[in-house]
Structure 1
Amino acid sequence: MSILPLPATGFDLDVPILIVGAGACGLVAALAATDAGAEVLVVEADAAPSGSTALSAGLIPAAGTRFQRDAGIEDTADLFARDIQKKAKGENPQELVDRLAEHSGKVIEWLADRFDLPFSVVTDFDYPGHSRRRMHGLPTRAGRELIDRLRSACETQGIDIICNRRATSLFVEGDHVRGVRLEGPNGTEDVGCGALILACNGYGGNRDMVRQFMPEIENAVWFGHDYNQGDAVTWGEALGADTLHLGAYQGHGNVAHPQGILITWAVITQGGVQVNLNGERFWDESQGYSEAARAVLSQAGGVAWTIFDSRIAGIARQFQDFKDAEAIGAIRTADSLAELAEVTGLPKDALTRTTTNIPTDKPDAFGRSFLGEPLKPPYCAVKVTGALFHTQGGLKIDQNARVVGKGGNVFPNLFAAGGAAVGVSGSGDSGYLSGNGLMAATVLGHIAGSAAANDMKKEHGHA
């Protein structure tokens, strides 16, 4: 990853706006810029658009949408912003939180109205830290559907997405980025640009950076996209850009092991528990799935069993991932606790004691309050481990997603969004409010794409 002077022989190709990365962030940025009348090119290192988005549940939290109103949910951007800051203990830049919360609903409705994305709100369970039900998802509740629909929308708009092209260097003149060097199957290509949007996510796939910034999670399963190598931060630091919260990340402590399938946290919020190999609970699971990664990894073997029942499984089946896990036998079922002990290999007495001694009238010994029905047969269990999903720190940005320098200066035509920019999850893992990653990807993508397009219009006298 290097910074280069302008190529002596000029660029092989020039585009008004170049976007590096074709996950949700890059594709939304492309749609926003095109919608505002600018021409864009998206380059993607992988063979097809996917990114960490395709590995997620595809749920985007947004406040004050008509989808919420149709479901009888009253919500506001202010309330959403307060929830974000409360989870992160006030560690986020307030103006960034306010900007994302305020734009979240508009972006969801724009994607639905302009590009026919059929969003609906998850209404049958609550996510930790959200005081309203505001998770918007597509019918399969899977990130793969989100990325496929965004790609299809880009194709309909005539947006060029070139895959198998890895950005390796930036061409810089003063405080302007003038282009990018790409490595592809046929060698290198130098592409000039009027504006550059970094939508290449964070550094979770870079083991050295993970060890440096978040050593407590370095042994977790990596559940993100392998091209998340920290390019944006590396380039930014070489340019003198400022960074924030590089130790922040989203973990997940409910990934089926060894199958590597994400199990929805609904199995916990609806009354499920996690036990270690001794059949004993070890933490307050209601804190959230990001913190769960460290909690599970701290147990013997770095694994746990998530125990729930058939009622909860019925709610979890709205997620394609859960159905996939069932289909390949990752979810064990049993008609009694004795049978559950047999199919999991957990000690029968401890497992029985753990699952039958859950108080419903007061918080338990870990401080968790169980609301709703106790677990009853038939029972379900899945062996899980802790995973690192994506990093949440990154380049510091201004209100329009422009990259900010260490001296407070702004790089006029360099934008960072999604995982390339600092998120709103505080400084560690416990500040992650469910959906923060995709919310920042889509909303910042929209902001960056719109701002870059407006710049192009001004440059060409159309303002």
Structure 2
Amino acid sequence: MADFQPLSASQLADSYDAVIIGSGGTGLSAAIQATELGLKVAVLEKETALGGNTNRASSGMNAAETNVQLHHGVIDNVADFFHETYKDGGKLNDKDMLGYFVYHSAPAIDWLADHGIKLDDITITGGMSKKRTHRPASMAPIGGFLVKSLLRVIAEEKIPVFNETKVTKLSQAEDGRVNGVEVEANGTKKHIAAKAVILATGGFGASKDYMKRFRPDLLDYKTTNQPGATGDGLKLGEQVGAELMQMNLIQVHPTVQQDNPHVYLIGEAVRGEGAILINGEGKRFVNELNTRKIVSNAITALPEHSAYLILDQGIRDHVKAVEFYDQVGLVVHGDTIEDLAKKIKVDSANLQATVATWNEAVKNQKDTEFNRTTGMDRGIEKPGFFAIHIAPAIHYTMGGLHINTKTQVLDGNGDVIKGLFAAGEVAGGLHGNNRVGGNSIAETIIFGRQAGQQVTLYTQSLN
């Protein structure tokens, strides 16, 4: 964000009530919440840029029973949100974490709105039966919008954020409680005392070390993650005896454009607003809004291991991110379906028949081929016509540090490591074996706020 200037490490104080490691949605939410409850906090970020992986999120933030849904005529139920997420996660989700998450999703939307961060539009993602993916009315990608908006609040509240400041170690008192951090910045080392530390460092989707340890089969996959997603919080936690859980559960995102050195995730909202997937023969091969795991496996099973997203101007009008994808050269244009087929070298008659069958399915609200029931608000009829070449890539790490609903980090015996909290993608358990699109942004705000609240209670108990 151009107008927010992080501080240099030379301005670090010697002590804080709480040190928050990571400047994505989780870290920024935790910092705002803790500050508003009276704590003196600092946010430390190892990269130059702020925002971490949150910057790359494009679909939205899931929540149920919100006023925003009612304004759009969507009557939802928190219990449905719970059961669908539990089913989509292969029933491997930590039920307590999931319960806390779904019941605190609507208040999180309200909390953002209280800070002038309004998510007034809704869409749908795979595995959900209702439109519960909240996003800004401008339909801008959620991630950049959220980071920029949270940094505005951070600036207003004068919360210190330091970049290019890497935490190398957690310090502990004799009784084992975490009481500070060792940092490295500009080649110098410094110890900062803190009553508590929040790990908000994100996942390990860009860590070859952790992949080698837990999922060697994915070593050659590209990743949608920013280069800093190397599992630093897991390393820091492991040093003080934290338990890692479900580390083998890694989500591969089905729709990633990876023909260029820079990998671009094509957000689920593109399918949520009506796009279809076709194989090398120009035919559909899957319910495009099934879970990410199922859709990714279906693409990998194709002879070409890749597919094309097909959409029209009507769909494009509802997903502003497509403008960005086009700007960076990822979108193939066609005046007609026939023209588009030629450009992407698929059988023209097949593609025309596929689109015609799909438009009929949308008209009748019945997809006899693949039983798709969502993302059918509009067909593919309005010129121009567009295609984006995609294939699966490592996207999200469901496993991580074992925490409880209070975001307290647990050791191998299930005991709380006092003074250490974690939230967001660094923590495991919430998503089971498949994260639903729109749930990670919700997790950053819901559990970021919870970490801010729990750290406040913890530090008060020390006084």
Q: Deviations over 1:12-50 (max 9, x none)?
A: 812110000000000000011011111101100111312
Structure 1 residues 18, 77: closer, same or farther in 2, change over 3 A?
A: same
* Partner SS, residue 398 of structure 1: coil
Deviation at 1:208, TM superposition (A): 2.7
Aligned length: 441
The answer to whether residue 388 in structure 2 is matched with residue 382 in structure 1 is yes
Are the structure 2 counterparts of residues 336 and 68 from structure 1 closer, same or farther at C-alpha, using a change threshold of 3 Å? closer
Equivalent position of 1:169 in the other structure: 169
Cα separation, partners in 2 of 1:167 and 1:145, compared to 1, 3 Å = same
User: Do structure 1's residue 268 and structure 2's residue 274 form an aligned pair?
Assistant: no
C-alpha deviation, 1:329, in angstroms: 4.1
For 1:21 and 1:43, locate their aligned partners in 2 and report how far apart those are by CA, in whole Å: 6
The answer on whether the counterparts of 1:57 and 1:141 sit within 8 Å (CA) in structure 2 is yes
Please give the secondary structure, in 1, of the residue aligned with 2:289: helix
Distance 2:54 2:131 in 1: 21
3-state SS of 1:78 partner: helix
Distance in 1, matches of 2:328 and 2:230, equals: 31
Choose from 417, 422, 447 the match for 2:450: 447
1:105 aligns with 2:106: yes
Deviation at 1:310, TM superposition (A): 2.6
AA aligned opposite 2:403: I
How many Å separate the matches in 2 of 1:58 and 1:315?
12
Q: Secondary structure at the match of 1:90?
A: coil
Match of 1:126 in 2: 124
Find the residue that maps to 1:406 and give its secondary structure.
coil
Q: After TM superposition, list the pairs within 5 Å mapping 1:216-227 onto structure 2.
A: 216-227=217-228
Q: After superposition, what is the alpha-carbon deviation per residue over 1:117-169, rounded to whole angstroms, capped at 9, x for unaligned?
A: 122131xx432222332222233233112101111211111111010011111
2:133 equivalent in structure 1:
135
Aligned match of 1:416: 422
Change (3 A) 1:363 1:112: closer
Q: Which residue of 2 aligns with 1:392?
A: 398
Partner of 2:145: 145
Find the aligned partners of 1:32 and 1:264 in 2 and give their Cα distance.
29
* Contact kept? 2:59, 2:269, Cα under 8 Å: no
Question: Paired residue for 1:7?
Answer: none
CA distance in 2, matches of 1:446, 1:15: 18
**SS at structure 2 position matched to 1:279:** coil
Q: Is the 8 A contact 1:249 1:393 kept in 2?
A: yes
Aligned to 1:5: none
Task: Please give the secondary structure, in 1, of the residue aligned with 2:265.
Answer: coil
Superposition deviation, residue 353 in structure 1: 4.5
Counterpart among 282, 286, 291 of residue 283 in structure 1: 286
1:272 offset after TM fit, Å? 2.9
For residue 43 of structure 1, what is the amino acid of its counterpart?
L
SS at match of 2:30: helix
Q: How far is the alpha carbon of 1:368 from its aligned partner? A: 4.1
The answer as to whether partners of 1:216 and 1:294 remain within 8 angstroms in 2 is: no
Give, as a single letter, the amino acid of the residue that structure 2 aligns with 1:77: V
Greater mean deviation of Cα atoms: 199-208 or 379-388: 379-388
Supply the distance in 2 between the matched residues of 1:76 and 1:175 (Cα, whole angstroms).
43
Which range moves more in the overlay, 273-282 or 201-210?
Answer: 273-282
Q: Which residue of 2 aligns with 1:198?
A: 199
One-letter amino acid matched to 1:287: N
1:406: Cα distance to partner? 1.4
Question: Where does residue 69 of structure 2 map in the other structure?
Answer: 68
- Give the structure 2 partner of residue 307 of structure 1: 310
Q: Give the C-alpha shift of residue 364 in structure 1.
A: 4.3
Rounded to whole Å, the distance in 2 between the matches of 1:69 and 1:363 is 27
Distance 1:111 1:126 in 2: 20
Question: What amino acid is aligned across from residue 406 of structure 1 in structure 2?
Answer: G
SS of the equivalent of 1:222 reads coil
For 2:337 and 2:59, the matched residues in 1 are separated by 34
Paired with 1:110 and 1:376, the residues of 2 have a C-alpha distance of: 40
Residues 126 and 268, structure 2, Cα contact 8 Å, conserved in 1: no
CA RMSD of aligned residues (A): 2.5
| Letter in structure 1 aligned against 2:143 | G
One-letter amino acid of the structure 1 residue matched with residue 14 of structure 2: L
Quick one: structure 1 residues 386 and 410, their matched pair in 2 at CA, closer, same or farther if it must change by over 3 Å?
Answer: same
Distance 1:94 1:373 in 2: 36
For structure 1, the 5+ residue unaligned runs are: 1-10
Q: Distance in 1 between matches of 2:168 and 2:389?
A: 39
Which SS does the other structure have where 1:167 is aligned? strand
Q: Could you tell me which residue of structure 1 aligns to residue 7 of structure 2?
A: none
Alpha-carbon deviation of 1:438?
1.3
Residues 128 and 287 in structure 1, CA contact (< 8 A), matched pair in contact too: yes
The offset of 1:276, in angstroms, is 2.7
Q: How many angstroms does 1:247 deviate by?
A: 2.1
Secondary structure of 1:29 counterpart:
helix
In structure 2, the CA distance between the partners of 1:269 and 1:146, relative to structure 1 (3 Å rule), is closer
Change beyond 3 A, Cα 1:143–1:58: farther
Residue in 1 that maps onto 2:6: none
Shift of 1:323: 0.9
Query: How many Å apart are 1:334 and its aligned residue?
Result: 2.1
Supply the distance in 2 between the matched residues of 1:64 and 1:347 (Cα, whole angstroms): 45
CA distance in structure 2 between the aligned counterparts of 1:57 and 1:295, rounded to whole angstroms? 23
Higher mean C-alpha deviation, range 129-138 or range 445-454:
129-138
Partner of 1:86: 87
Conserved? CA contact 1:30–1:40, under 8 Å: yes
- Structure 1 residue 194: Cα displacement: 0.5
Q: Which among 425, 435, 440 is matched to residue 437 of structure 1? A: 440
Change (3 A) 1:180 1:303: same
SS at match of 1:439: helix
Q: Would the aligned equivalents of 1:204 and 1:228 in 2 still touch at CA under 8 Å?
A: yes
> Is the Cα contact below 8 Å between 2:311 and 2:380 reproduced in 1?
yes
Q: Give the CA deviation at 1:367.
A: 4.8
Q: Which amino acid aligns with 2:276?
A: V
